[in-house]
Amino acid sequence: MYTIQQLEETNSTVSKSIWRISKSSKFVPNSVSIIVKLTNSCNYGCKYCYISGPLISSDKKEFSNHKYLSDLYNKLANSKTIKYVNLISHGGEPLLLGKKFFKDMINVQKEILKDKQIVSTIQTNGSLIDEEWVEFFKKNNFHVGISLDGPENLHREQRPSLSGDSFEQTIKGIQILQENGIKFHCLSVVTKKLITYNTENLFYFFLDNGINSFEFLPQDSVIDSNGNILSEDIYFTNEYADFIIKLFDVWYEHNDPNVHILLFEDIIRTLLGNVTKSCQIGKGMCANAVFTYYPDGTLQPCDKFPRAYDNSENLITKLSEVNSFDDVFTLDKQKSAILSQVKSFKMCDGCPWIKKCRGGCVFDRYMYFRLGLDKTNTFRDCPTYKLYGHIAKRLMELKVIKHNLEPSLYDKNDKMVI
């Protein structure tokens, strides 16, 4: 494991204030989140999907049995440091593997990981949910995420079904969850098309359908092994910044504590000096906190990275090559990932919000350099920088916050200048 001194010696590219933030992240964690890519198969053909792209090799189809899952559970069970594990069932569409597969998976998981505290999460398009799935989610305390891109025409266009009407299928799954009292949240992908939609109508679409917890994730780049950009990264566009600020105002003025948009809530938490709940804000680095596990037994970083980097760059290890998950944190590839994430803070040099935001999503910092934006942009072009300034002003109107912010945010007349 790297010592702090060794890390500091390699970190001459970032400012001291940013380095202090990165140094505070845990290099030996007691909790991890693992995105388990159960399958690449899907009954939808989403236009922005990266799973079928050229960077996903053909041998990473799906878990045909529980051998590799058992390998993962055994390595976690052997860990002396990890106490808490969030296992995220992901795809493709994970429910395509069927109820027997999931029941067997949970039984194996409970047997091997009986000494760990487990959170089970699933991200699904909702089209296959029925009463039996609901009972399974209830019995095993699953946290359920549904992919829903908004009103009918928008959802159908961005997330077409390979058979039938994707909007009707997803809404039916949501209604079954609601009828059975299953809590869930929705994820929408922000594309150029979605950005043009009226933000107020979009917000109230979710509320009108009884959905009070939802999130908007900007579409990320997919870049092939030759460096060709297959889909645009929307995060750094002015349109995305304008959209997310308008959406905040709609949410803020609706003024209902029972309606949750996690990005906004987390930014407010940081402005008030509290801890965030998501990895998008306030965490700094995710190299030792979030991993992706594939059906061929390979372990990689957060599943965003294969969208923009060749798999050979991302491979941390095959789990069959280590005795315990603790060994992962000693590998050269993992140490390299940590150092890369530290250096990516260079994007944030000079930003007055760095101590609050802590660099936002690591992947966005990577893409800032990968797309060459460091040659033309500054931190002032970051949408999170703009959003922080906007939210801070709204809170200052209520006198909720004042001089706990950076002095550089004020002029000589004590007015906020961001």
Does the pLDDT of residue 9 top 70, yes or no? Answer: no
Q: How far apart are CA 66 and CA 109, in angstroms?
A: 10
Q: What is the pLDDT of residue 303?
A: 84
Rounded to whole angstroms, the Cα distance separating 178 from 213 reads: 13
Tell me what percent of the residues of the chain surpass a pLDDT of 90. Answer: 55
Q: What is the mean pLDDT of residues 126-151?
A: 97
Confidence of residue 4 (pLDDT cuts 50, 70, 90): very low
Pairing of strands 317-318, 298-301: antiparallel
Indicate the burial class of 8 (C-beta count within 10 angstroms; 0-12, 13-18, 19 or more). middle
C-alpha distances (whole Å) from 409 to each of 269, 392, 405, 406 are 19, 10, 7, 6
Is 80 exceeded by the pLDDT of residue 386?
Answer: yes
Question: What percentage of the chain carries pLDDT values higher than 70?
Answer: 80
Six-digit token string for 59: 């041998």
Q: Which residue has the higher pLDDT, 8 or 246?
A: 246
pLDDT of 349 > 60? The answer is: yes
Which pLDDT does position 51 carry in this prediction? 63
Residue 26 has pLDDT above 90, yes or no: no
pTM confidence score: 0.87
Q: CA–CA separation, 205 vs 215, rounded Å?
A: 13
- Output the six-digit token pair for 261: 């948009």
Residue 231 has pLDDT above 80, yes or no: no
Question: What does the alpha-carbon distance between residue 408 and residue 31 come to, in Å, rounded to a whole number?
Answer: 36
Phi, psi dihedrals of residue 87, rounded to the nearest 5°? -100, 115
pLDDT at position 221 = 74
Predicted confidence at residue 368, as pLDDT, reads 86
193-220 residue pLDDT tens: 999 999 999 999 999 999 999 999 998 8
Q: What is the mean pLDDT of residues 230-243?
A: 87
Tell me how far apart the alpha carbons of residues 248 and 173 are, in angstroms, rounded to a whole number.
28
Average per-residue pLDDT for the chain = 84
pLDDT range class, residue 7, cuts 50, 70, 90: very low
Q: Contact at 8 Å (CB) between 363 and 235?
A: no
Distance CA(259)–CA(5), nearest Å, equals 45
Determine whether domain 4-385 maps to CATH 1.10.8.590. no
Q: What is the pLDDT of residues 28-48, one digit of tens each?
A: 678 999 999 999 889 998 888
Task: Give the whole-angstrom CA distance, residue 7 versus residue 337.
Answer: 12
Q: What is the pLDDT of residue 346?
A: 87
178 class by beta-carbon count within 10 Å (0-12 exposed, 13-18 middle, 19+ buried): middle
More confident residue, 275 or 18: 275
Q: Quick one: pLDDT at residue 390?
A: 95
Residue 118 contacts residue 77 (beta carbons within 8 Å):
no
Q: Between the ranges 25-34, 60-69, 165-174, 298-307, where is the mean pLDDT highest?
A: 165-174
Q: Could you read off the pLDDT of 83-131 as tens digits, one per residue?
A: 999 999 999 999 999 999 999 999 999 999 999 999 999 999 999 999 9
Instruction: Give the C-alpha separation, 286 to 44, whole Å.
Output: 29
- pLDDT score of 6 more than 50: no
Instruction: Give residue 53's pLDDT.
Output: 41
**CB proximity list for 163: less than 8 A, separation 6 or greater:** 43
Residues 64-86, mean pLDDT to the nearest whole number: 92
Q: Indicate whether 60 pLDDT > 80.
A: no
pLDDT of the residue at 226: 66
Region 169-187 average pLDDT = 97
d(CA 18, CA 55): 32
